[in-house]
Amino acid sequence: MPLLAIALLAAGTYAFRLVGPVFRYRLRMPDRLRRLLSVAAVVLLVALVVTSALAEGHGFAGWARPAGVLVGGVLALRRAPFPVVVVAAAVTTAVLRLCGVP
Amino acid sequence: MDMRSFWRTLDRGTLRDIALVCLADMLVGASFGAIAVSGGLPLWVPVAMSLLVFAGGAQFAAVGVVLAGGGPAAGVVAGLVLNARLLPFGFAVADVLGDRWWTRLLGAHVMTDESVAFALRQRDRRRRHDVFWTCGLALFAAWNVAVVLGALAGEVIGDTGALGLDAAFPAVLLALVLPSLTDPGTRNAALLGAVVAVATTPFLPAGLPVLLSLAGLVLAARPPATAAKTDSIPESP
């Protein structure tokens, strides 16, 4: 990860953040585009959840990680606090691996 | 600013929720630092990314792509596409960033899924302002401290997998997006997108499958039948 890549990612990210606060009086984003962008964010985040839970490189990550994420997801549905969700997911995965589940 | 009236506008429940999110994100940030360093990246990489990019999803995506051998360019593209969601967020919270140029520059940088979500839950503009800044600044401090600690630990921990740290990030991300999935149109788009991403993962360079999930938007482009009525109202020019 060279410095240039980090700088590009940082600059682009900051530009996305700054457009709204700077142009809010001059630009009005159409509601349709606003909705599409917010749905796009959810679509990307869910895809990131699923691929980072299931895959390691081009292959299957094994059962321990998705099982941990699933436990975290069920706890989140039951409105458990965020730290509980995170710790439960990591502990589930760690315990499964300790038991020999890949 | 009068600090006493600042704290009075924030009720205890909101402060507790912000603290809990900070704590959860610290665990995730520590995992990020540890995974990046134990994966072979130098210590300054996760630390610099966290200070300058300050967007957990993009950081994990970019580092994940690079550690999977996808190359830095693919990592940057994956991170930027993911962060495009910050653009509409900027319009949503622009009114609480203030009119001075330096508060806008600073406020823009601490804009995250969490600070925006918390701010938008408040109806009153004053409370929105207080909640946004409290959550944004607290999270910036918490995240960066945690990433440094995690990165230092990553030099000692040989195998972050044994601790299950790789499950922390998808879990917190899932907890964050779950409330958005109650809307059927969004849910269908996300499901289709997830199927596309998983199906293409074995064949495509790292980072690309997540971008291809945007194909799921075809299900969101057309409003569902129940929403057709409201949609037929002519849109303002």
A54-69 confidence digits (pLDDT tens): 998 788 999 999 999 9
Q: Which two tokens stand for residue B228?
A: 């057709």
Does A57 map to a domain? no
* Distance between CA atoms of residues B135 and B112, nearest Å: 9
Instruction: Please indicate whether residue B6 or residue A91 has the higher confidence score (pLDDT).
Output: A91
Instruction: Judge whether A56 lies within some domain.
Output: no
A41 and A4 assigned to the same domain: yes
Burial class (CB in 10 A: 0-12, 13-18, 19+), A79: exposed
Residue A62, min C-alpha distance to chain B (Å):
11
Domain interval for residue A73 = 62-102
CB B21 within 8 A of CB B114: yes
Residue A50 lies in a domain: no
Tokens of B138: 């607290």
Distance, in Å, from the CA atom of A89 to the CA atom of B168, rounded to the nearest integer, reads: 6
Claim to verify: residue A102 and residue A68 sit in the same structural domain: yes
| Nearest residue in chain A measured CA to CA from B94 | A21
Size of interface A-B (CB pairs under 8 A): 285
One DSSP character per residue, B94-130 reads GGGS-SSHHHHHHHHHT--HHHHHHHHT--SHHHHHH
pLDDT at B163: 92
- Do A61 and A49 form a contact (C-beta atoms < 8 A)? no
Instruction: Note whether A73 and A40 are same-domain residues.
Output: no
A77 and A102 in a common domain: yes
pLDDT digits (tens, 9 = 90+) for B154-212: 988 878 889 999 999 899 889 888 888 999 999 999 999 999 999 999 998 777 788 89
The answer to whether position A53 is within a domain reads no
Between B143 and A35, the higher pLDDT residue: B143
Dump pLDDT digits (tens) for B73-129.
888 988 888 788 788 788 888 888 988 899 999 999 999 988 888 888 788 888 999
Check residue A7 and give its pLDDT: 96
Domain ranges of chain B: 3-164
What average pLDDT score do residues B126-135 get?
93
Q: Are residues A39 and A70 in the same domain?
A: no
pLDDT above 90 covers what percent of chain B? 45
- Using the Cα atoms of residue B141, residue B142, residue B143 and residue B147 in order, give the sign of their dihedral: positive
Q: How many domains are there within chain A?
A: 2
The chain-wide mean pLDDT, for chain A, equals 90
pLDDT at B4: 54
Same domain, A71 and A102: yes
| Contact state of B61 with A5 under an 8 Å Cβ cutoff | no
Which residues from B are below 8 Å from A47, CB to CB? 190, 193-194, 196-197, 209-210, 213, 216
Joined together, the tokens standing for residue A2 give 């060279």
**CB-nearest partner of A5 from B55, B75, B81:** B75
Tell me: do A2 and A36 sit in the same domain.
Answer: yes
Q: Closest to B86 (Cβ–Cβ): which among A8, A10, A13? A: A13
Proportion of chain B above pLDDT 70, given as a percent: 89
